Structure 1
Amino acid sequence: LGSGHYASVLRLDDARGLALSTDSVGSKVIVCEQMGRFDTIGLDLVGMNANDVVCVGADPIALLDYIAVERADPEMLEQIGIGLKQGAEQAQLEIPGGELAVLPDLIRGHPSPHGFDLVGFCVGLVDLDAIVTGATIEAGDAVVGIPSSGIHSNGLSLARRVVPDLDEEFDGTTVGELLLEPTVIYVRAVRELLESDVDVRGLAHITGEGLLNLLRLEAEVGYEIDAPLPVPRIFELIAERGPVEPAELYEVFNMGCGFCCVVPEEQAPKAVSLLGRRHPGTAVIGRVTADPGVVALRPQRLRGTRSGFV
């Protein structure tokens, strides 16, 4: 595969390949430290890695974790392990091992001594003739969006800057709890779609850079989003408090759409039905255009390229 894909594929033999990807949970660890809650961040780690691996059509089979800590706090590590176990079950993969590094000279908590960093490395298997790159996408294809749970694991630095009081009550809970809502793990639903008779032409995990991630797919096409998914309230709060302009919001956050599948227009209803079994609210959010390298968000009147939205 060329550069820019969600995962690399290493050829094992003439038929099968090994899909490889690595990612962290970014500065979401700081929210965990400030809230004193660590039981969901493992779900984020599995989601950030396994969701990337499935984007090339692979079946994630294993994840290794690297935990760097300021101090080896047994309770904190146990909570992190709880989330990792839940994430592994949701993604139907194994966590056969990992590494714990105690680095007090390098890691500083918010507050100390609860500082940590969390990184994962995910492996998947894929048939070489079933790799999904986006190369077969055509103008007129449908873009199916799957809802996010909220902020997932991208844009936490901006969110913390504009809404610094994590204990602030909002929408029936606190800002901190909303920011800790785990990344949705889409693996099962996407694997079920791949195993159906739907022609899955492109898969995109919507992380940092938002819907501009669609441009990572290989085809020289564009995308018009005219029916976006509902925007979670946390993003409305961030926009208001910043204030943060729409262009920046849609470059930094998923804005309610955590994953996209590109399929032929006539197969979109079946794709929506299959994906919606596990992820209610899944819907067609737009279509592929012949305007290469452009993502147009019609309701927001934004036009995006690889350099951002304007």
Structure 2
Amino acid sequence: MPKNYTYTDAGVNRAQRHESKKALASLKETYKHIGFGGIMRLPYGNLFPIDDNTFLDLEIEGVGTKVLIAELADKHDTIGVDAVAMVVNDVIRSGAKPLALADNIHAVASEPKLVNAWLKGIIAGAEESLCPVVNGETGDVAEIIRGIKPNSGFDMVVSCVGKVEKQNVITGEGIKPGDPIIGLPSSGVHSNGITLVRKILFKQWGGKYEATDIPQGLEREVALEVLEPTKIYVQPLLKLAREVKIKGAVHITGDSYTKFNNLANYSPGIGFRFDNFNPHPIFGLIQKTAAELGYTITDEEMFKTFNMGWGFGIIVDKTDIDKAMNTLEQDSVKPQRIGKVTDKERVVEIKHGEKRLILT
């Protein structure tokens, strides 16, 4: 491994993924089958109409290699929360209310104890999202799924459909320099950057620790710290949307703070400055452990890969900031102002302590 260690070095090639996404343009050929009007394009996905005033937001998400940590720790009862969180947090970016969930689990073997544990997490996530699980499938595909222990390998994907009225869609339009950015705290790593985490922190993949080790700075086993479920933001976000106009909503996942630049496609001429960070100890541990192994994970790489303490970003007009903060505080989500919109087009600035970073 090179001294400067990146997500690409860990096995997730951002440039290749970006190039591959160009193939998605071919899906436009299928849009002709929509019965009412056309697709509404948004910063982070598309809505499709079911009548003149109502749109559906259909999303599908997985938890990536976090399933391997669940398998390593033999703790399977929370990974379903992550799967639900990843998809419902994507649905609410458009202002849509989650209506229904469906799960797909592929496993080496559908061992009853494991299936019960997986579903326990999915149910917990669904309850918190106020959304029913109406369908699902569990497939035994031992020739495809290998895993790291006998008969316990699996993959988990959840889809969700949400509904939003046309006048309530969060479009990403009308964002102006000076608009504040509100952050909703994350619970930790969530479900992104796990490939890098695994290869730095866990001996199983060439890192430093056993799953049951408690590194300095943590208060529990390292595997349990990484497995802390992804936070679900459905209820506070939808409540806020009823009280103020939300200009932009960002689920801070893959590509982290650079994702905000998608909003510049809908509000041209804007950039973003973030200046309020208090990352969980796990993030410092990742950088520190990498250094102990002889690698360097730069600050830029950390802010491009991980949420660094904020799981969801909300942009409102500066005249609405007090009402927005008061509304969110009533739901005990501990919101904070984490930055503001600037006039530096597509420039993402990070201020963390004495550090000043520009993300590209």
Report the TM-score, using the length of structure 2 for normalisation: 0.82
- 1:106-145 mapped onto 2 (5 Å cutoff): 106-145=144-183
- 1:25-36 mapped onto 2 (5 Å cutoff): 25-36=63-74
Deviations for 1:140-182, whole angstroms, at most 9, x for unmatched residues?
A: 1000001000000001111111111221113220110000000
Q: Is the alpha carbon distance of 1:127 and 1:2 closer, same or farther for their aligned partners in structure 2, counting shifts above 3 Å?
A: closer
Q: How much does 1:276 deviate?
A: 2.5
**Which structure shows the bigger proportion of residues in helix conformation?**
2
1:55 aligns with 2:110: no
Contiguous gaps of at least 5 residues in structure 1: none
Query: SS in structure 2 opposite 1:219?
Result: coil
Distance 2:70 2:112 in 1: 15
Query: SS in structure 1 opposite 2:253?
Result: coil
Q: How much does 1:245 deviate?
A: 1.3
Check the 8 A contact 1:6/1:21 in 2, yes or no: no
- 1:168-247 mapped onto 2 (5 Å cutoff): 168-170=213-215, 171-196=218-243, 198-217=244-263, 218-220=266-268, 221-228=270-277, 230-243=278-291, 244-247=297-300
Q: Is the alpha carbon distance of 1:292 and 1:2 closer, same or farther for their aligned partners in structure 2, counting shifts above 3 Å?
A: farther
Query: SS in structure 1 opposite 2:246?
Result: coil
1:288 aligns with 2:341: yes
Number of residue pairs aligned between Structure 1 and Structure 2: 303
Deviations for 1:124-144, whole angstroms, at most 9, x for unmatched residues?
A: 001112211211111110000
Letter in 1 for 2:286: I
Check the 8 A contact 1:146/1:279 in 2, yes or no: no
Q: How much does 1:279 deviate?
A: 4.1
Distance 2:347 2:272 in 1: 6
Deviations for 1:207-245, whole angstroms, at most 9, x for unmatched residues?
A: 0111112112222211111223x1000001001111321
Distance 1:15 1:280 in 2: 31
Query: SS in structure 1 opposite 2:82?
Result: helix
Among 85, 101, 118, the alignment partner of 1:80 is 118
Tell me which structure has the larger Cα radius of gyration.
2
Contiguous gaps of at least 5 residues in structure 2: 1-38, 203-208, 292-296
Instruction: Please name the residue that 2:21 is paired with.
Output: none
Greater shift after overlay, 30-39 or 287-296? 287-296
Check the 8 A contact 1:147/1:279 in 2, yes or no: no
Distance 1:279 1:76 in 2: 33
Query: SS in structure 2 opposite 1:82?
Result: helix
Q: How much does 1:6 deviate?
A: 3.1
Q: How much does 1:4 deviate?
A: 6.9
Letter in 2 for 1:208: G
Greater shift after overlay, 184-193 or 3-12? 3-12
Distance 1:73 1:206 in 2: 34
Query: SS in structure 2 opposite 1:20?
Result: strand
Distance 1:148 1:240 in 2: 21
Query: SS in structure 2 opposite 1:254?
Result: coil
Distance 1:13 1:136 in 2: 25
Percentage of pairs with the same residue: 34
1:297 aligns with 2:360: no
Deviations for 1:2-55, whole angstroms, at most 9, x for unmatched residues?
A: 767434211111110111111100100000000001100111011100000000
Distance 2:110 2:276 in 1: 47
Check the 8 A contact 2:246/2:314 in 1, yes or no: yes
Greater shift after overlay, 214-223 or 245-254? 214-223
Report the TM-score, using the length of structure 1 for normalisation: 0.94
Letter in 2 for 1:302: L
RMSD, aligned CA: 1.4
